[in-house]
Amino acid sequence: MINVARWKDVWHRFSGQGTYPHELAAMLLFPLRRFVLSPEKLIRHLHLNHASRVLEVGPGPGFFSIDVARAVPQGRLELVDIQLEMLQKARRRLRRSGARNTGYTQTTAVRLPFRSGAFDVAFLVAVLGEVPDPRACLASIADVLQPGGLLVVAELQGDPDALTEEQLRTLTQGTGLEFSDSERLAGGFLASLRSTIHR
């Protein structure tokens, strides 16, 4: 059983800035999230094909992960999270769904442990503002994307860490990413960026 001091810490992380607490992961699976950003809408923006290699940074318990894994049956979805507990929750959900084309890596988003050009597509949903060094995170993602690879960043209403589109545009400078387009969401946005790194 969790003690009072621990719950205070959980509440502080939930209501303030920083990493979303894994103890409240069930809230990230609330079905009404689909009205803000559905997995189907996200997948349309990811421009996946059956063999795409996809990186999801900060999946939480995997609200979007099952649908993305199903969209790349000959490809692979790699989930990266700093919290092992979140990865374990996501893995259980994906296993129950029958998804087997997935990998799980516990690491920070600032220095990703993958080879350059390992992924075709990457995405973050309500995550970038939680990262201590978001510019370094973007640069690391640019490195692991193939040249011209796509990064989709979603920032959502109600997230205390949410970035504005202007902040995101500023953060991308010098990272090897450039804006492609963006779409407004209710109180947020969905931005597409392309890797400009040539190898």
Domains, the chain, ranges and CATH?
Answer: 4-195 (3.40.50.150)
Burial category of 4 from C-beta neighbours within 10 Å (exposed 0-12, middle 13-18, buried 19 and up) = exposed
- How far, in Å, CA of 184 to CA of 25, rounded? 26
- How far, in Å, CA of 90 to CA of 197, rounded? 31
Quick one: pLDDT at residue 11?
Answer: 43
What six digits make up the tokens of 161? Answer: 């860490």
Quick one: pLDDT at residue 186?
Answer: 81
What lies within 8 Å, CB to CB, of 44 at 6+ separation is none
What six digits make up the tokens of 138? Answer: 């973007």
CA-nearest of 105, 110, 147, 107 to 128 is 110
Q: Name the DSSP class of 162.
A: P
- How far, in Å, CA of 155 to CA of 45, rounded? 14
- Please give the model's pTM, rounded to 2 decimal places: 0.86
Q: Name the DSSP class of 38.
A: -
Quick one: pLDDT at residue 12?
Answer: 45
- How far, in Å, CA of 57 to CA of 140, rounded? 11
Cβ(19)–Cβ(13) below 8 Å: yes
Q: Which residues pair with 121 in a beta bridge?
A: 54, 150
Percent over 70 (pLDDT), the chain: 82
| Residue ranges in the chain whose pLDDT is less than 50 | 7, 10-16
CA-nearest of 142, 157, 119 to 193 is 142
